[in-house]
Structure 1
């Protein structure tokens, strides 16, 4: 699979929360860092995601907002 995104973090699915339309996926990328992604239920089904699965979080954004 080739992607134009350059930010790819390998991790493990820690938690799945399926809603009416979207599934929230919490990914442990190590060193105490966790990412949360919201994907469609269809995408979660297509990927057959399960807790413990090894996945890659691919991040592509033209803006990164930082607050303090």
Structure 2
């Protein structure tokens, strides 16, 4: 896994200063970095999108073990 050398918090930090038209897109832009698939729910807002992303990451990590996660 290409990004496993970076811990989760570091990967989240990559979008901190990212400018997007919609807040959700900050979270959505991390899908590939975390190797997760989620529905795009425009209108849910940035906070909810990040919560759903974190839940998806947690579910993924239950089945996989990466050294820095």
Give the TM-score of the pair, scaled to structure 2: 0.26
Give the TM-score of the pair, scaled to structure 1: 0.26
Larger radius of gyration, structure 1 or 2? 1
Q: Between Structure 1 and Structure 2, which shows a larger proportion of strand residues? A: 1
Q: Between Structure 1 and Structure 2, which shows a larger proportion of helix residues? A: 2
